[in-house]
Amino acid sequence: MESDRTWRRCNACKGPIELGAIHWVCSVSTCNRKRTGMVFCNVDCWEIHLPIANHREAWAVEKTAPSTRESVESAAPSAGSGSRGGESKPTSERPPQRRVVRPDPPASSSNPAPQDVLIVASRLKDYVRERSGMNTSDRVLEPLSKIVRQVCDEAIANARRDGRKTVLDRDIP
């Protein structure tokens, strides 16, 4: 049973860390993010996570837990709500958010996309030879590159429509 004085649990030994108690955190930023939030009850517990985390250089930083339950609860909405300031709504009431990454470039762009060959000739020729025993002309590369550009343009448009800056496999038609 958890005590009313327990702030959080140690990530290594799962022992309670009391409100207002001294605890240790890792100096590496990936261990201190809101979603990770690794805390340790002592330096020995901190050392347990080092082989798993595979840090190049790290040290334990001494911190003090919040002293009252109210200070923990007042900090909770901003820590995990996902909103950027202001009052947060429960996730069931919050409408889905759309972000505009950037507008589509104008059709008459002064900096057009390069028209280089996008296909690796040796890999294509090896594939055709293995599948069919046939040779491949170098003139096949340009039409295939045109097809790849069209597919990529559609994938870029799909990623923009979803408000992302990264083209994913699901964007490819």
Domain-terminating residue out of 52, 78, 104: 78
Cα angle: 167, vertex 116, 102; to 5 degrees: 35
Bridge partner residues of 90 (DSSP): none
Residue 36 lies in a domain: yes
Three-state DSSP at 33 gives: coil
How much is the pLDDT for 163? 87
Residue 14 lies in a domain: yes
Residue 113 lies in a domain: no
Same domain, 14 and 67: yes
- Average of per-residue pLDDT values in the chain: 80
How much is the pLDDT for 88? 46
Residue 130 lies in a domain: yes
Count of structural domains, the chain: 2
Residue 32 lies in a domain: yes
How much is the pLDDT for 53? 83
Alpha-carbon distance of 11 to 31, in angstroms, equals 11
Q: How far is CA 20 from the centre of its chain?
A: 32
Alpha-carbon distance of 127 to 144, in angstroms, equals 14
Of 63-72, 105-114, 116-125, the least confident? 105-114
How many Cβ atoms are within 10 Å of 148's Cβ, its own excluded? 13
Are the C-beta atoms of 72 and 7 separated by less than 8 Å?
A: yes
Same domain, 127 and 73: no
Residue 92 lies in a domain: no
Domain-terminating residue out of 44, 78, 112: 78
Residue 64 lies in a domain: yes
Alpha-carbon distance of 165 to 97, in angstroms, equals 15
Domain coverage including residue 20: 6-78
Domain-terminating residue out of 45, 78, 111: 78
How much is the pLDDT for 96? 65
Residue 11 lies in a domain: yes
How much is the pLDDT for 110? 57
Same domain, 74 and 125: no
8-state DSSP, 34: T
pTM recorded for the entire structure: 0.41
Same domain, 125 and 71: no
For 67-113, the pLDDT digits (tens) are 887 666 655 544 444 444 444 445 556 666 655 555 555 555 556 67
For 20-53, the pLDDT digits (tens) are 999 988 888 888 888 888 899 998 888 888 888 8
Pairing, β 22-26 against β 60-64: antiparallel
Q: What share of the chain in percent tops pLDDT 90? A: 32
Which region, left, alpha or beta, applies to residue 115 given φ > 0 means left and ψ of -120 to 50 means alpha? alpha
Same domain, 12 and 65: yes
